[in-house]
Chain A
Amino acid sequence: MTNLENETLVEMRHICKEFGRGRQTTVAVADVSFAVRSGETAVLIGPSGSGKTTLLTLAAGLTSPSAGELYLFAKPFDAYQPRELQKLRSRNIGFIFQTFRLLDPLTVLENLILTGKFAGVSRVEASADAARLLSKLRIENLADAYPFQLSQGEKQRVAAARAMINGPRLIIADEPTANLESKQALSLFELLREYVKQSRCGLLVATHDQRILSFADRILRIEDGLLAPRVSLEYYNQAWNLYY
C-alpha cells in the first residue's frame, strides 16, 4: 500500500540528458539526482539554459533520459508504454506554463472541461468539476470568457485551475510567475501552496523568481546541467543578488 504522506512522485538518479549527436551533442543535464515527494514544493532555480526546463520535461515523462534512472510514481520510466505515459500525464500531472498556453478558441470553462476529459472524466462531470474549481478560485465570472479577453493575472489563475482540474498528484510549473506582477505572483503561489497542502500533491517549479522561494520546501539550484549542493533558503536569499 502506498504511503501518501511520503510518496515519492518523481525520482531522478544520476540522470543525464543529451541532445544532438556526435560533435553537435549538447549536454543539458549531467548527473542529476533528486526526488519530489507528495506534499512537497520543490523549486528549481538557475540561469537560463541551465537545464531547468529539461528537468521538468523529464519529470513529466515527455522526454527520456540519456542515462541514469528515472522513476515516475515509483515506476521506472522505461517500463511505461507511450499510452501509459499519456494517461499518467492526463490523470496524475497538472501543468502550468510560462506563457499560459490556454487554448484561445475555447472558453475558460471549455479549457478546463477538455483537460478533464483528457483525464477520462465525462463531460458532465468535468463541467461540474470545472465550475466548482472556478468558483473556488473566485473566477467563476470568467467561465464564458475567451483567453484573449483575460488579463495576465486572470490567465494565470485559469492556468492554475486547469492544472488542478484533474486532481493531480504532481503539478509541474514552468516559470509560472514570469509574466505577473508581485501581487499576482504571490497570490498565485498562495493558491498553489494551499492546494498542495490540501491535496498532498507535489509541486515542482522552475523559476527565476526570487519572490516565490519563501514558498519552497526545497530549493534545487541547477547550473550548467549540474545540481548545486543543498543549501538553505537564507543562503539563496543572500546570494540571489549576485546571480540576478
Chain B
Amino acid sequence: MIRCAWKYLRFRPSRSLLIISSVALCTLLMTFLISVYRGVSDGTLDYILQNRCDLWVLQENATNIVRGSSILPARQGNVLSQLPGIDSFSPILLSLSVVQTPASEGTVYLVGYDRRKPQGGPPRVVTGRAIEKDYEIVLDNCFAAKHRIVPGDTVICNRQKLNVVGLSEGTNAFVIQYAFVTLTMAQRLVGDLKIVSALLVNADETVPIRKLSNEIAGRIRKSSVFTHEQFVAANRREMQSGFLPFIIAVCVISVVVLVIILSSLLSLMIMERRADFAVMKTLGASAGFLPGLILLVASLVASAGIAAGLLLFAPVTSLIRLIAPELRTVTTLFELALVIATVAATCLLSGLFPMQKLRTIYPAETFQ
C-alpha cells in the first residue's frame, strides 16, 4: 500500500511538492519559534541562574527583574552586614540605558555590580576580560556583533565615555541584552543616586534559609525576599506570560493553516482520482484500504515535510542570525520531538477530513 500511496503522491509532482513544502514550512516555523523561545528563555534567565545565591532581596511588590523594576536604598546593605547568619551579600543596580557608538546606538539592560563581591557579574566573559574599574563596560557579545563593537572600542552611555573591555555570553534576552559596569558607575549614570535594585544574599551554612528570609524581611522595610528557586520561578513565569502566548498563538495558527491547506489538497486529490477510487471499490478493495491509502499519503507527506523542515532549520537560522545577531536559538531533543509529533499528528488529522469524501464515492460510478 505504501508503494501505491507513493505513486499517487508522485503522480502530481508539483502539487505534492506544494503539500510537502507546506508541511516543511510549518515544521520550520514551529521549530524556529520554539528554539527562539528556548533561546530567549535561557538568555533571560541565564543571568539569574548563574548568579546563584540563597536569597534575593528586592523592593516590596517587586517579583522579577525581567519585566519589573526594583529600587532599594543602598544603605540597606548596612542592615544586612549587621545581621547574623549572612556569609556575604552582593548589591546590583539594574537600569535601562542607551549605549551609543559613532555609527549606531542600542538599549541595554545595564547591570552595576560590585566586583569585589561574589555575585552580580556576567555569567561568562568570552572575549576580553571582566571590568576592573569605573569607566569600563562589558557588553553582551550579540549586542556587540550587531553594533560592530569589539573590546578596546569606546562607547557613550549617558554622556559618559566607557571603555569596552570584554564581551559576555548568556546575557542575551533577545529583546534586550545585558551590559555590565561597576556599581558606582551605574549609580553615577542614574544621577548619582545611592540606590540598588537587589541584594543577593549568601547565608551561613548553619542558618536555616527560611528563618533568615523572615529576619531580613523584618529588618528591611518595604522589601520582598525570595529564595533563589522562588526568584527563578517568578522570573520564568513573567517571561513566559509575555512571550509564550505569542509563540503558542503563532504555532496554533500555523497548525490550523496547515490543516486547511493539507485537507484541501488531499480532498482535491480524492476528487481528482475519484474514478480510480470507485474502480478500487468495484474491484473489491477492503473497507479500510482507501482510508488507509489516504492516511499513508498524509504520512508520507508528513515524513517528507518534517525531514525537509528540519534540514532547512540550520541554514535558515544561520541566515537569520546574519541579519539579527541578537537572535539566539536553542533546540532541545524534547522540543524537537514535540514539533515532529505535532506536525505528524496535524498531517494525520488533515487526512481524516478528506476521508469523509471517500464515503460519497460509489463503486457503481465505474459503469457510468
Contacts and interface: CB of A to CB of B under 8 A. Distances in A.
Interface of A: 53, 56-57, 60, 62-63, 82-83, 86-91, 93, 95, 97-98, 101, 103-106, 110, 114-115, 118-119, 162, 174
Contacts of B285: 86, 90, 118
A65 to B, nearest CB: 13
Nearest to B281: A86
A146 B295 CA distance: 24
A62 B287 contact: no
B11 A57 contact: no
A227 B363 CA distance: 25
B283 A89 contact: yes
Contact of A118 (B286, B367, B368): B286
Nearest to B6: A105
A119 B285 CA distance: 8
B39 to A, nearest CB: 44
Contact of A62 (B275, B280, B364): B364
Interface string B1-18: 001100110110000000
A101 B279 contact: yes
Interface in B256-279: 273, 275-276, 279
A53 B367 contact: yes
Given A56-B367, A57-B367, A86-B284, A105 B11 contact: yes
Contacts of B356: none
5 contacts: A62-B363, A62-B364, A95-B283, A98-B367, A105-B276
Interface residues of B, number: 24
B366 interface: yes
A119 B284 contact: yes
B298 to A, nearest CB: 16
A62 B282 contact: yes
Nearest to B8: A105
* Chief secondary structure at chain B's binding surface: helix
The 10 closest A-B pairs by CB, nearest first: A90-B284, A105-B11, A89-B284, A105-B7, A118-B284, A62-B364, A101-B279, A53-B367, A57-B364, A62-B363
A120 B301 CA distance: 28
A104 B276 contact: yes
A119 B286 CA distance: 9
B11 A87 contact: no
B276 A103 contact: yes
B275 A101 contact: yes
B283 A90 contact: yes
Given A98-B367, A106-B7, A114-B4, 18 more contacts: A56-B367, A57-B367, A62-B282, A62-B367, A86-B286, A88-B284, A89-B283, A93-B284, A97-B279, A101-B276, A101-B279, A103-B276, A104-B11, A105-B7, A105-B11, A114-B280, A118-B286, A118-B289
B11 A89 contact: no
Interface in B316-368: 362-364, 366-368
Nearest to A165: B283
A87 B289 CA distance: 13
A10 B35 CA distance: 66
Nearest to A53: B367
A57 B367 CA distance: 8
Contacts of B3: 110
Contact of B4 (A86, A88, A110): A110
Contacts of A60: 282, 363
Interface in B171-188: none
Contacts of B364: 57, 62-63
Contacts of B284: 86-91, 93, 118-119
Contact of B282 (A89, A91, A105): A89
Contact of B366 (A88, A97, A106): A97
Nearest to B285: A118
